[in-house]
Amino acid sequence: MPTFRVLLSSEQIQKRVEELGATIDRDYPAGEPVYLIGVLKGAFMFLADLARATKVPARIEFIGISSYGKGTTTSGQVRLTKDLDVPIEGCHVILVEDILDTGLTLTYLVQLMKQRRPKSLRIAALLDKPDRRKVEVHADYVGFQIPDEFVVGYGLDCVEDYRNLKDVCVLEA
Ligand code: 5GP
């Protein structure tokens, strides 16, 4: 059985997500809808909590990306597995990602989103591992900076397991 070391407790996460929601409230003009686009699958829980933490009229969409293959090390390849269901031209968009690691995924997604001509485009990432960055990416809303350790829980998996843990944990062998 693997052991889990809690890195960020559910309480810490909820408190921080509330703060991010309040910041988003301040950043967007009242009344204008904002597309919260969750990057599948890891961001689903963060997206659900962030959507409830903000008062902006949110519209929820998902985009599917595959970058990690089946292990815990990056393949360096980014592939679109599910596109948006709606056009986002002229709309405010926040890309909602679980973790910013090398930056390759978000660089790819930002490029893709920009081609669709949104009115504005910002990035929310629950976690940021700055030590791992290969390409520079600016995230507008970051939950926590964490060290270079492989984490699971709160949406994040290891070969599809552990996504439903409430805390973000380091997976220890
Ligand atoms: P990037 O393209 O920035 O290297 O990677 C982003 C993606 O890699 C994340 O959306 C996530 O799916 C995966 N990833 C990066 N670090 C971790 C980690 O510590 N744990 C898990 N479960 N996935 C990670």
Q: What positions carry a catalytic annotation? A: 101
Q: pLDDT (tens digit, 0 to 9) for every residue of the chain, 173 residues total?
A: 889 999 999 999 999 999 999 999 999 988 899 999 999 999 999 999 999 999 999 999 999 988 655 555 556 678 899 999 999 999 999 999 999 999 999 999 999 999 999 999 999 999 999 999 999 999 999 999 999 999 999 999 999 999 999 999 999 87
The amino acid occupying position 36 is: L
Q: Tell me if 7 CB under 6 Å of ligand 1.
A: no
The amino acid occupying position 117 is: R
65 in Cβ contact with 100 (< 8 Å): no
Which residues, other chains included, contact 48 with Cβ-Cβ below 8 Å and sequence gap of 6+? none
For a ligand 1 pocket test, name from 132, 156, 165, 170 the mutation site with the most ligand atoms within 8 angstroms of its C-beta.
Answer: 156
Q: Sketch out the chain's domains with CATH numbers.
A: 11-25+33-64+81-147 (3.40.50.2020)
63 in Cβ contact with 40 (< 8 Å): yes
Report which ligand 1 atom has the smallest distance to the Cα of 107.
2
Q: Tell me if 151 CB under 6 Å of ligand 1.
A: yes
Confidence at residue 173, expressed as pLDDT on a 0 to 100 scale: 75
Give 82-89's long-range contacts (Cβ < 8 A, gap of 24+): 82/40, 84/37, 84/116, 85/61, 86/61, 87/116, 88/35, 88/37, 88/61, 88/113, 88/116, 88/117, 88/118, 89/116, 89/117, 89/118
Confidence at residue 76, expressed as pLDDT on a 0 to 100 scale: 66
Q: Return d(Cα 76, Cα 104) in angstroms, integer.
A: 7
Nearest alpha-carbon partner for 126 in 104, 108, 165, 153 = 153
Q: Tell me if 152 CB under 6 Å of ligand 1.
A: yes
Q: Tell me if 150 CB under 6 Å of ligand 1.
A: yes
For a ligand 1 pocket test, name from 45, 46, 63, 68 the mutation site with the most ligand atoms within 8 angstroms of its C-beta.
Answer: 68
